[in-house]
């Protein structure tokens, strides 16, 4: 579940707002977005993944907020950890082989398998 946005890192680009498939964030003119509908978060990590500043932290626990603080997240090096883990962060190319999400898109491009043969009656 989305836990926090770091005001120190966030530039207000709103990429997270556009990346979120369930509209968790609200934009704020001239400021960073706000987490407006935290309970709607599906823990898909898209906001954290697409944030170029590593300003977001999504906890892997989808059942509710963990209460983790920015100080804890920072001390544990969790800002940007998902991007690093799958190889999207600068300098983390070694993890790219672990990201198999491209297979989802490849599967959509393939033709559907033939259905069961219909029997003539």
Predicted confidence band at 96 (pLDDT cuts at 50, 70, 90)? Answer: low
How many Cα atoms occupy the beta-carbon half-sphere of 59 within 13 Å?
A: 17
pLDDT (0 to 100) of residue 49: 92
Structure tokens of 10? 């966030």
Q: Which residue has the tokens 């029997």?
A: 119
Residue 107 has pLDDT above 60, yes or no: no
Is it the case that residue 106 has pLDDT exceeding 60? Answer: no
Grouping H, G, I as helix, E, B as strand and the rest as coil, residue 94 is: helix
Mean predicted confidence (pLDDT) in 58-87: 90
What token pair was written down for 22?
A: 């369930």
**pLDDT of the residue at 118:** 52
Pair 86, 95: CB distance under 8 Å: yes
pLDDT in tens, 1-46: 999 999 999 999 999 999 999 999 999 999 999 999 999 999 999 9
DSSP state of 27: E
Report the residue count for the chain. Answer: 121
DSSP 50-91: H-TT--EEE-S-TTS-----HHHHHHTT-TTHHHHHHT-STT
Residue-level pLDDT at 61? 83
Q: Which domains does the chain have, with CATH numbers?
A: 2-94 (3.30.70.20)
Report the Cα 73 to chain-centroid distance in Å: 16
Residue 60 predicted with pLDDT over 60: yes
């Amino acid at each position: 579940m989305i836990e926090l946005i770091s005001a120190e890192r966030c530039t207000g680009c709103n990429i997270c707002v556009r990346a979120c498939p369930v509209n968790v964030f609200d934009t704020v003119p001239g400021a960073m977005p706000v987490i407006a509908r935290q309970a709607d978060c599906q823990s898909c990590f898209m906001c954290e993944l697409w944030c170029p500043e590593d300003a977001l932290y999504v906890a892997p626990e989808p059942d509710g907020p963990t209460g983790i603080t920015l100080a804890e997240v920072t001390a544990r090096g969790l800002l940007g950890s998902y991007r690093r883990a799958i190889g999207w962060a600068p300098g983390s190319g070694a993890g790219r082989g672990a990201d198999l999400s491209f297979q989802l898109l490849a599967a959509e491009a393939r033709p559907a398998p033939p259905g069961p043969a219909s029997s003539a009656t």
